[in-house]
Structures are given as structure tokens and as C-alpha cells.
Structure 1
Amino acid sequence: MKNCGTIQLSRRAVLGAFAATAVAAAPTYSNAAGFLRGGGDIRRLRMTSARTGESIDTIYWIEGSYIKDAMKEISTFMRDWRTNNVMTIDSRTIDVMAASHNLLDVNEPFMLLSGYRSPETNAMLRRRSRGVAKNSRHMKGQAADLRLSSRSVGQMYRAAKACAGGGVGRYSGSNFVHVDCGPVRTWGS
């Protein structure tokens, strides 16, 4: 058998090529769920909580269907840690988080800084900071504030923005990115 010149690609090189192609193609998708199409038959979410010390690593979607128990587990994980109140987290927000995490090509789980916020918690945070919206999507279970130690805020922001699945805020001074499933928009520095 003749050797016609074999090209050997590492797994990282293949994933890097896929990620570059996916980022270039991302603007053609209208939301994160669309962005995840073709990415396999499963969707997975991995996070740790900076506030509770808990971790989650769950497959929440298989072959076109959300897994009810996994979605409930994610909602409980993303609860308001101050009041222990749980709100169902919008699947679109979860899809944006999973899609942006996939684009970043990291093994490190997201660090969740804030998921669901009760109206009481949101009001308290508003009294302490001008950056907290009165009608925050956090109170509707539609937002998350995330951090990765292995990626910059700019990298996380660009990955979430590429999903075109909602709002993306860059908070470089506080080292986190806000993602939500509201109208597509961006802000921050």
C-alpha cells in the first residue's frame, strides 16, 4: 500500500477548526437552540456555584427533548442562594450557556455567580449597585452571570454573542459575563 501523505490532526485541532467554523456560521442562527443543531444528540451543562460550593454536570437534552429531571436539577442549582427560592430556569438561557461553553472549548465548568434572584434579593442588590436592573431577567429565571478562570471576559462575551440567543453583558471590572434569553442585545466593557 502506498503512503499518499497522511495528515494527522489532534483532537484539539479538529475541535478548533470546528469552533472557528461554528463562530463564523453563528450569525445565521436566530437563537442558541439553533446554534446547537448539528452539534450532536446531547446537550450538557457543567457549572460550579461560587456561593454554595455545589457543582452540577448534567446532560439536559437528548435527541430533541429536554430531560425533565435534569432541567429541575439545573433550576434548583441556579436558585437564589440567599433565600433558597427556586424558579424554573428558562431552557433558552440554558441553551445559550451550553452553546457558548462549547464554543470556548474548555473542560472547566462555568462558575455561576448569579442565576435566579428573588424580588427581595434583586431589590437589595439594587440598593448596593447601580448595575442591577429593576426588572432584571434574573427574577424571571432567564439570566445567569458566569465566569471562567481559563478564559477572559472578552472571550466569554464573544462566544455568548455568537450564539445570538439573547442579551450578553460584559463586566470586565468584575470579571464576569451576563447571558439571558431576552432580546438580542449587548452592553458593557
Structure 2
Amino acid sequence: MTDIRTRGVSRRHLLGAFAATMVTATPTFSNAAGFLRGAGDIRRIRMYSGRTGERLDMIYWIEGDYIADAVKEVHHFMRDWRTNDVKQIDLRTIDIMAAAHNLMDVSEPYMLLSGYRSPKTNAMLRARSSGVAKNSLHLKGQAADLRLGSRSVSQVARAAAACHAGGVGRYSKSDFVHMDCGPVRSWGR
């Protein structure tokens, strides 16, 4: 798990960060890896859950520091909605999601289908489908299954793969992309 460093964030910092979101240039595929290493002044994540009806639009990183309260909200948002169990989501996964989103140049939030999965939920899903791994990175808070209505599975997967930072699975029949912070690899169509 990446270390969360907190920093006193003034109202002026936050207002400046919000203003910066309106004028920041979107990274290109060629510099996504640089974005993940800390290029840029802010990182933002936008998601909604069709299961809970919740929405999240949050700046979670400013000038090299993760904002602890914002990251805590992301953890809660990405909880196992079936059991309501919350686990810390690996910050690398959140960064990959944010970088891929920026590469696609969209303002539409991701639809989160699955973030953290409790052992009970993962076992139930495995019993229903052969496509659910016994030792899924979802169990560790290191993966997310996401969808964007305005982009195809291929477009989302290409953006995630361009980050060269983890696993990317294409699930075209189910209309979602799996992103994780495990070893760099890809699968599906």
C-alpha cells in the first residue's frame, strides 16, 4: 500500500486546485507514465455507483501529497456494496484509474461495477462465473471494474494499458474494463 502523506490544505490551495481543473491540459498516451510518477499539480477521480446511487467527484492529490480525508472517501465509495465492508484501496489503482480517465479526455464519471470485494462476495461470484479469480486483486483492494458510457471497452482498455502500470482486462460482452495495480499484463477482448 502506498504511504498516505497528509499536508495542511488551505482553502486557497483547494480553490486554486479546483480552478486548475478547468485549465489543465490532458496528458497524452505518451506521457501517462509521467503522470503516475507525479507530473501535474492535482489528481482527480470521478465515479458513480449504479448499485448504491452514490457519486464521487474528488481531488485526492495536490502538489505531491495525497489528501487523507479524500482518500478515505474513495475507500468508502469503493467498498463491497453487498456486505458494506470497507478496505483501503491501493493508491496505485486509484492513480491508474485517474490517469486513464484523463487520457480519454472525458468529463463523464466512471461507473464503478466492483472495487473491493470481501471474501464472501468473491466466493459467491466465483460460484456463479468461471471468470472470477480465487485470489482476485479485488480482495486486496487493488482492482476496479469500470465502465464509461461514452467510450468503448477497447478505448478504456487502451487508455489503461497506456499507463504501463498494472493489469488491464477487457470484458466486451459485459461492457467493462478491469484495472489493477498488479503486474503489467492484459487479457480479454
TM-score normalised according to structure 1 size:
0.84
Looking at structure 1, the residues matched to 31 and 71 of structure 2 have their Cα atoms a distance apart, in angstroms, of 28
Q: Which residue of 1 aligns with 2:87?
A: 87
Deviations 1:98-150 (A, max 9, x none): 00000010010000000000000000000000000000000000000000000
AA aligned to 1:33 is L
Contact 1:92–1:181 (CA under 8 A) maintained in structure 2 = yes
The within-5 A match list for 1:4-83 is 19=27, 22-26=28-32, 29=33, 33-34=36-37, 37-38=38-39, 40-83=40-83
Q: Which residue of 1 aligns with 2:180?
A: 180
The within-5 A match list for 1:64-143 is 64-143=64-143
Identity in percent = 68
- Note the residue ranges of structure 1 that are not aligned, 5 or more in a row: 1-13
Contact 1:32–1:165 (CA under 8 A) maintained in structure 2 = no
Sort the Cα spacing of 1:128 and 1:154 in 2 relative to 1 into closer, same or farther, 3 A. same
Looking at structure 1, the residues matched to 162 and 133 of structure 2 have their Cα atoms a distance apart, in angstroms, of 24
Looking at structure 2, the residues matched to 23 and 114 of structure 1 have their Cα atoms a distance apart, in angstroms, of 25
Looking at structure 2, the residues matched to 137 and 161 of structure 1 have their Cα atoms a distance apart, in angstroms, of 17
Stretches of 4+ aligned residues off by more than 6 angstroms: none
The within-5 A match list for 1:145-160 is 145-160=145-160
Give the drift of 1:86.
0.1
Looking at structure 2, the residues matched to 50 and 90 of structure 1 have their Cα atoms a distance apart, in angstroms, of 22
From the CA coordinates, give the structure whose radius of gyration is larger. Answer: 1
Equivalent pairs counted in the alignment come to: 166
Backbone CA RMSD of aligned residues: 1.5
Give the drift of 1:32.
6.4
Looking at structure 2, the residues matched to 69 and 25 of structure 1 have their Cα atoms a distance apart, in angstroms, of 28
Looking at structure 1, the residues matched to 96 and 35 of structure 2 have their Cα atoms a distance apart, in angstroms, of 5
